[in-house]
Structure 1
Amino acid sequence: MLTRRLALAAIAAGLSPRPGLAQAAWPDRPIRVVLPFAAGGNTDVMARSVAEPMTARLGKPVVVEARPGGGGTIGTEAVARAAPDGYTVLLGSGGTMVANPVLQARLPYDAEKDFRPVGLIATVPLVLVAGPRQSSADWAQFLAAAKARPGTISLATPGNGSVAHLTLELLQHAAGIQLTHVPYRGGGALVPDLLGGTVDCSLLELTTALPLHQSGQARILALAARQRVQPLPAVPTFTEAGVPGFTALSFGGLMLPARTPDAVAEALRAALVGALAEPSVQARLAGLGATVSTAEEQTPAGFGAFLAAERAKARQAAALAGLKPE
């Protein structure tokens, strides 16, 4: 009788008579998606594209919060150290999940052990962009010029160890060419110098290069994508242009602290999958030149395999360039 009275009292107090028997439904408050870079870039657009439809599915606000600094390490570490309750989510990308782990010896987080993948949102290919100083009309002409005069064509990237730099090393190896790498300290001055003729060409994210191409200020010669993209139906992929299997992508995907419960991670994933199925979300991403992830990539296993493959390519590129973790 005493046990029954205690159980009734626990129920009346809103408690579970046995630990773990009853838990509050998730979510019961807003969810933060931490963007570890400044607002306005590709990953920011990806996060905000799915935040509103995920809000509708989860019944609580999904809020994108920019927390830049340290090349993405500050915001990423904050999520790694956050409570694993599903209310703090990382917008994982190539810089924090691929380039940093390969090239930085003392990161304040472990990209593989501190997080669990939820699902990939979308990818944006890097493209080879020729400025007015470079006369090649297409990849074939560019390739011929690069092979005829090794080292005379300059290619700008946002910096040593950037995703574009790693892509350059892989491209030179795959195509059998030698270009002169011109690293900048970030991308701010890169595009003006490309358009002004200081450098010949660059590897840029499609979202950055597309308006330059459409306005006639620069020319996209090839896409490092698996297939052609909607805004540029006439521009070939590198594979079509004779560099088989060459892809280089920026990406955005959702990740949680490693110890987040399975049920919470699955609820978040289901909301993401539903959001990505909406035609308005697909149209917004496609208009930026982004490709929505496949059904497999929208699973933890698929996103995890994607990340592993990207890290393997980055390690290969670093080895080709002689870059070691510092």
Structure 2
Amino acid sequence: MPTTRRATLKALAAAPAALAAPARASAWRPDRPVRLIVPFAPGGNTDLVARVIGPHMGERLGQPVVVENRAGAAGSVAAAAVARARPDGLTLMIGSNGPMAINPITRADLGYDPLRDFAPLGLIVRTPLALVLHRDQPARDVAGLVAHARANPGRVVFGSPGVASTGHLTLEMFNAATGADITHAPYQSGGALTPDLVAGTVAGAFVEVATVLPLHRDGAVRILALTSGGRLSVAPELPTVEESGVPGFRAASFVGVVAPAGVPQEAMAALHDALKAAVAHPEVRRRLEETGSQVASEEEASPAGFAAILRRETEWTREAARRAGLLRS
């Protein structure tokens, strides 16, 4: 009996360690660098976000997170490639409006379905748009712009980074919500639009706030309002479109991370934890917020939360594209 009792106690004492060992052994870690694909050229907001979070994700994962830019077809080239990538957790993509919500609504034969072929890791930021005018335009607020546009139907011209861009679709929704008759002038990119906005070639635009906030503060352009749900800490003096008299009007560029569908749950959990830790880093958060971006809430940053956002953004895009006559056939 004493021998049996000692053996039993010894087995019970060893049980916690035995149970813990498989958990430690099964915790997923990449065995080589992780690729984080940016579906656009270097220099834009998505590229900035990727390069800010990448190093901190790598620290958590124990392998470098290497940012790769793969531009083409408004993000669809990279998205199609990542959708077909091996689902081993070693290939991720920055998921944003173009490849995840706009292209599937406005372009045919993409070769991927964003809601079927990707597994969301989490939202990182939303970046609201600024309703901005050239400094010589007469309107001083949203109501003034709407009145001016109605009095001059078709003669007030807003530029955008391109047909079916977030700026274009936001303009269509603004026209629908206010009855303003603002004409759309598409450019090849935001970089091409900005000089003409400063020069007054176009009256205004809906563009990401980070692009025009310095120009606003220099007096080159005038921001009337932001499309966010609340005022931004970097520019608390700027009202929202909603509080300026257009109820429920919100729009934003979003940036998150997705993986190919089929990545094992253990890997998804480790990747999500790495992303969460990266965004929580004080320096990362500071750099994201100083661009005018709003860091995602805990719910939005979850895989389920980001998936819900993608569904909502797809429906918003569908309605805006319908109004613009851009629904794919």
- What is the Cα deviation at residue 274 of structure 1? 1.3
Is the 1:55–1:61 Cα contact (8 Å) retained in structure 2? yes
Is the 2:142–2:225 Cα contact (8 Å) retained in structure 1? yes
Q: Distance in 1 between matches of 2:103 and 2:28?
A: 36
Q: Distance in 2 between matches of 1:105 and 1:142?
A: 36
Q: What secondary structure, in the 3-state scheme, does the structure 2 residue paired with 1:211 have?
A: helix
Matching of residue 117 in structure 1 with residue 120 in structure 2: yes
Q: Which amino acid aligns with 2:118?
A: F
Q: What secondary structure, in the 3-state scheme, does the structure 1 residue paired with 2:131 have?
A: strand
- What is the Cα deviation at residue 23 of structure 1? 6.8
Counterpart position of 2:207: 204
Q: Where do 5+ consecutive residues of structure 1 fail to align?
A: 1-21
Is the 1:132–1:196 Cα contact (8 Å) retained in structure 2? no
Q: Distance in 2 between matches of 1:119 and 1:199?
A: 36
Q: How is 1:222-241 mapped onto 2 (pairs within 5 angstroms)?
A: 222-241=225-244
Counterpart position of 1:306: 309
Q: Distance in 2 between matches of 1:289 and 1:53?
A: 21
- What is the percentage of aligned positions where both structures have the same residue? 48
Q: How is 1:249-288 mapped onto 2 (pairs within 5 angstroms)?
A: 249-288=252-291
Superposed CA RMSD: 1.5
Q: Distance in 2 between matches of 1:54 and 1:189?
A: 33
Is the 1:121–1:298 Cα contact (8 Å) retained in structure 2? yes
Counterpart position of 1:65: 68
Q: Distance in 2 between matches of 1:25 and 1:76?
A: 25
Q: Which amino acid aligns with 2:38?
A: L
Q: Distance in 2 between matches of 1:303 and 1:139?
A: 31
Q: Distance in 1 between matches of 2:255 and 2:114?
A: 14
Matching of residue 55 in structure 1 with residue 58 in structure 2: yes
Q: Which amino acid aligns with 1:121?
A: I
1:102 paired residue among 102, 105, 126: 105
Q: Distance in 2 between matches of 1:23 and 1:271?
A: 17
Is the 1:122–1:251 Cα contact (8 Å) retained in structure 2? yes
Q: What secondary structure, in the 3-state scheme, does the structure 2 residue paired with 1:259 have?
A: coil
Matching of residue 186 in structure 1 with residue 226 in structure 2: no
Q: Distance in 1 between matches of 2:28 and 2:214?
A: 45
Q: Distance in 2 between matches of 1:262 and 1:226?
A: 33
Write out the 4+ residue segments of structure 1 that deviate beyond 6 Å after TM superposition: none
Q: What secondary structure, in the 3-state scheme, does the structure 2 residue paired with 1:130 have?
A: strand
Q: Distance in 2 between matches of 1:300 and 1:76?
A: 18
Q: Which amino acid aligns with 1:56?
A: E
Q: What secondary structure, in the 3-state scheme, does the structure 2 residue paired with 1:74 have?
A: helix
After TM superposition, the score normalised by the length of structure 1 is 0.90
Q: What secondary structure, in the 3-state scheme, does the structure 1 residue paired with 2:122 have?
A: strand
Matching of residue 138 in structure 1 with residue 141 in structure 2: yes
Q: Where do 5+ consecutive residues of structure 2 fail to align?
A: 1-24
Counterpart position of 2:320: 317
Is the 1:133–1:199 Cα contact (8 Å) retained in structure 2? no
Q: Which amino acid aligns with 1:168?
A: L
Deviations 1:295-318 (A, max 9, x none): 011111100111111111110011
Over 3 Å counting, the alpha-carbon distance change for 1:280 and 1:24 in structure 2 is: closer
Counterpart position of 2:9: none
- What is the Cα deviation at residue 133 of structure 1? 3.7
Q: Distance in 1 between matches of 2:27 and 2:285?
A: 33
- What is the Cα deviation at residue 169 of structure 1? 0.8
Q: Distance in 2 between matches of 1:51 and 1:222?
A: 32
Q: Distance in 1 between matches of 2:106 and 2:168?
A: 12
- What is the Cα deviation at residue 106 of structure 1? 0.9
Q: Which amino acid aligns with 1:66?
A: N
Larger helix proportion, structure 1 or 2? 2
Q: What secondary structure, in the 3-state scheme, does the structure 2 residue paired with 1:193 have?
A: helix
Structure 1, 136-145 or 122-131: larger mean CA deviation:
136-145
Counterpart position of 1:296: 299
Counterpart position of 2:158: 155
- What is the Cα deviation at residue 186 of structure 1? 2.3
